[in-house]
Chains A and B, each alone.
Chain A
């Protein structure tokens, strides 16, 4: 069933323009980050890696990169098992109020980040956690873990519950059965959740703005500080590197999605 040729032309034209609008700013940043001078003009007047060199040698950027990865790795390590366990529990359990529980666990997704951040700022300072690595990781985990729960829950929808019964009938206690049967069969979902958690933490800005102490600036936090201070192409180099990370996460998550889909088909 085809659309009218004129309608199709209009639709495709709009789509090209919108997709161009979506991609253009990022492409511009990538191109400008290779600018040979401090002038950010298009088209570029040459090619240089000096801003990347600056990024890699400036103490604050190196520290921010290190902080970002430390926090993201810690968040992933905390969020993935917690979220996976909770998702498996939600799938196994037969009790009332399950929908309410899912809503509760994924509430950080729909809560305005500024409210989450402000609340954590209040509460964590009372608990002596503000400005600490633990506080920052906890904050990131709260907003990252719903993605793990949802990714694993989605994979578990296609998991055959009889496999757990079979494992029990063969003598496996519940916990070994989960580790030996559920986890190996849902790993694409778990891995996708971990990638989501890592990406969320790496890109997180608002909560870090409030919770991070002076020595804990992450990449987005350092970018924000630098933009407010003085705009240099080094910031664009940082943005380009973060953008590159996002592309990698997208690729990995799509690969995992295909993998999970293939598992179902077979």
Chain B
């Protein structure tokens, strides 16, 4: 494996001297990868991106690009493309002039600028839009232009700061596909910031989950979803049922209502307090639940029809908010009825309780 493109080394950012917006960050971005910084607002993900772009200075630590320290280099000499949430297209320039801006700054010959601009417009499927003003384009079109502008000077690294946040759902999904296609086509390294976990799962090679200024987990989409490192990650990515329990032995735990649940082997000592996370879509109901170790009968409290699946709220394990997602099928249990329920051992993730 080649050396990483970007390295954050013990990077800390504080505005007031004591609250750390980013705390002792260590992160490598690999060449050509699509890395997403995911987290709630105020988690430090955008500050991290802004420090990489050069719009914020780290309070301590260092940032390297291609082996060279860049945290003291002014943003305009870093050669990093940035796509902003509000597009930040220059309103006094046409689309073509916007695209030509970084090239004319670099004193490229006119003919070269014209042909590159043309190619960039084709890449984002907007040929013929060069003479329009940004204000005459739709939000989606504007963001394509912004993406093309960030790529046209062939930066090694492109940063995207919630670029789809202002768009509606359908357009967002369309542009996600587009961004993925361009990433694959150009092989450029992309660092993407979002608070939308579905978007992160769709796009990323790797996801860094941020909370309170720290990376909670760094891994592939599958890893952070299936094997969350802590309760925060489990709760932030996807839905989950959280149950308090006490460890009986290497596989068995006692729940609040006294029932016993079996999980895959974990390393918590007997008697320790534990927190269980169970994904709603992995709970089996009815005939599918028969024969499972963790089988029980539960009362259906509420059923919400959501088209491709139904969402059931059950009274189980001493609680009335146990959620189960049922893929679209003919027989959906009615509220008030009793239903067989089974939890696969592999679906139970065990964390130590704080």
Most buried by A among B53, B75, B149: B75
Segment of A107-115, A149-157, A163-171 engaged in the interface with chain B: A163-171
Contact of A165 among B55, B92, B153 (CB under 8 A): B55
Q: Smallest CB–CB gap between B354 and chain A, Å?
A: 38
Interface readout for A184-220 with B: 1 if CB under 8 Å, 0 if not?
A: 1100000000000000000000000000000000000
CA distance A162 to B76 in the complex (A): 14
Interface readout for B83-98 with A: 1 if CB under 8 Å, 0 if not?
A: 0101011111000000
Q: Smallest CB–CB gap between A77 and chain B, Å?
A: 24
Given contacts A165-B53, A166-B82, contact A174 B88 (CB under 8 A): no
Given contacts A171-B106, A171-B153, A172-B105, contact A166 B88 (CB under 8 A): yes
Contact of B88 among A162, A177, A263 (CB under 8 A): A162
CA distance A181 to B97 in the complex (A): 12
Interface assignment of B101: CB less than 8 Å from any CB of chain A: yes
Interface assignment of B280: CB less than 8 Å from any CB of chain A: no
CA distance A177 to B89 in the complex (A): 13
CA distance A197 to B81 in the complex (A): 40
Write the chain B residue with the least CB distance to A186.
B92
Which chain B residues border A162 with CB–CB below 8 Å? 84, 86, 88
CA distance A224 to B326 in the complex (A): 91
Interface assignment of A176: CB less than 8 Å from any CB of chain B: yes
Q: Is the CB of A165 within 8 A of B84?
A: yes
Q: Is the CB of B54 within 8 A of A168?
A: yes
CA distance A160 to B87 in the complex (A): 11
Q: Is the CB of B86 within 8 A of A168?
A: no
Which chain B residues border A4 with CB–CB below 8 Å? none
Interface assignment of B238: CB less than 8 Å from any CB of chain A: no
Q: Smallest CB–CB gap between B333 and chain A, Å?
A: 51
Q: Is the CB of A165 within 8 A of B75?
A: yes
Q: Smallest CB–CB gap between B276 and chain A, Å?
A: 44
Which chain B residues border A185 with CB–CB below 8 Å? 90-92
Interface assignment of B67: CB less than 8 Å from any CB of chain A: no
Q: Is the CB of A172 within 8 A of B84?
A: no
Interface assignment of A252: CB less than 8 Å from any CB of chain B: no
Tell me how many residue pairs across A and B have CB atoms closer than 8 Å.
Answer: 72
CA distance A252 to B291 in the complex (A): 85
CA distance A261 to B350 in the complex (A): 58
Most buried by A among B77, B81, B101, B153: B101
CA distance A139 to B79 in the complex (A): 46
Q: Is the CB of B102 within 8 A of A171?
A: yes
What is the predominant secondary structure among interface residues of chain A facing chain B? helix
Q: Is the CB of B149 within 8 A of A170?
A: yes
A118-169: which have CB < 8 Å to B? 160, 162-163, 165-169
Interface assignment of A266: CB less than 8 Å from any CB of chain B: yes
CA distance A185 to B76 in the complex (A): 20
B27-80: which have CB < 8 Å to A? 53-55, 74-80
Which chain B residues border A174 with CB–CB below 8 Å? 74, 76
Q: Smallest CB–CB gap between B158 and chain A, Å?
A: 10
CA distance A224 to B90 in the complex (A): 50
Interface assignment of B300: CB less than 8 Å from any CB of chain A: no
CA distance A234 to B88 in the complex (A): 56
CA distance A167 to B88 in the complex (A): 9
Given contacts A174-B76, A263-B91, A266-B135, contact A167 B101 (CB under 8 A): yes
Given contacts A162-B86, A165-B55, contact A172 B91 (CB under 8 A): no
Given contacts A184-B92, A266-B91, contact A169 B82 (CB under 8 A): yes
CA distance A120 to B89 in the complex (A): 47
Which chain A residues border B105 with CB–CB below 8 Å? 170-172, 176
Which chain A residues border B106 with CB–CB below 8 Å? 171
Interface assignment of B253: CB less than 8 Å from any CB of chain A: no
Interface assignment of A101: CB less than 8 Å from any CB of chain B: no
Q: Smallest CB–CB gap between B245 and chain A, Å?
A: 48
Q: Is the CB of B135 within 8 A of A169?
A: no
Q: Is the CB of B88 within 8 A of A160?
A: yes
CA distance A67 to B149 in the complex (A): 51
Interface assignment of A24: CB less than 8 Å from any CB of chain B: no
Using CB atoms and an 8 Å cutoff, list the residues of chain B in contact with chain A: 53-55, 74-82, 84, 86, 88-92, 101-102, 105-106, 135, 149-150, 153, 159
Known: A162-B84, A170-B153, A176-B105. 13 other contacts (CB 8 A): A165-B53, A165-B75, A165-B88, A166-B82, A166-B88, A166-B90, A166-B149, A167-B101, A168-B76, A170-B150, A171-B106, A266-B91, A266-B135
A-B contact pairs, 18 of them (CB 8 A): A162-B84, A165-B75, A165-B84, A166-B82, A168-B76, A169-B75, A169-B81, A169-B159, A170-B101, A170-B153, A171-B102, A171-B106, A171-B153, A172-B102, A172-B105, A174-B74, A181-B90, A185-B90
* 3 tightest A-B CB contacts, nearest first: A170-B102, A169-B82, A166-B88
